[in-house]
Amino acid sequence: MCGEIEEEGGPSSFEDALYNRFLVHTRSLLAKQKTAQAANRDPMFDQLDKLFADALSRATRDSEEADENDRYQIMAMQPLVFARLAGFMAAHCSLQEDPMRKVMEALMHGYAEAERIENDHGHDHDHDGAHGHYGHQH
């Protein structure tokens, strides 16, 4: 069925399917980013979206440049690096800004974003408006 990943071919084919799903979602998000840059939006959110796209592009490029047998494993370990970076940067924010809550909300947003893309068969049709991915503030 469309959008489902079957484990019939063993771990290698399952991991290949997960990695290919990541590539499809990455391409969709990066294409959306280019479209969003054309919109007249808040410069801060544009900068944050650009940083996200740059980091995603780098992570994807690093995975793609690896040996084919290592691509999934590299992609699967990269979230740990970004989580470490998010924690490091959040540790330098005022506690009044509740940095860990914002990091956790962003983490959950990213996790849900992949599901929205999957439900749209690889095409993200969610339009975030002027606030982008970082506009939700408390």
Q: Which residues contact 134 (CB under 8 A, 6 or more apart)?
A: 44, 45, 48, 49, 106
Report pLDDT digits (tens) over 25-78. 999 989 888 777 666 678 888 889 889 999 999 999 999 999 999 999 999 999
For the stretch 43-47, contacts whose Cβ atoms lie closer than 8 Å and that sit 24 or more positions apart, written own/partner, are: 44/134, 45/130, 45/131, 45/132, 45/133, 45/134, 45/135, 46/132
Confidence of residue 8 (pLDDT cuts 50, 70, 90): low
- Give tens-digit pLDDT for 85-130: 999 999 999 999 999 999 999 999 998 988 888 665 544 444 444 3
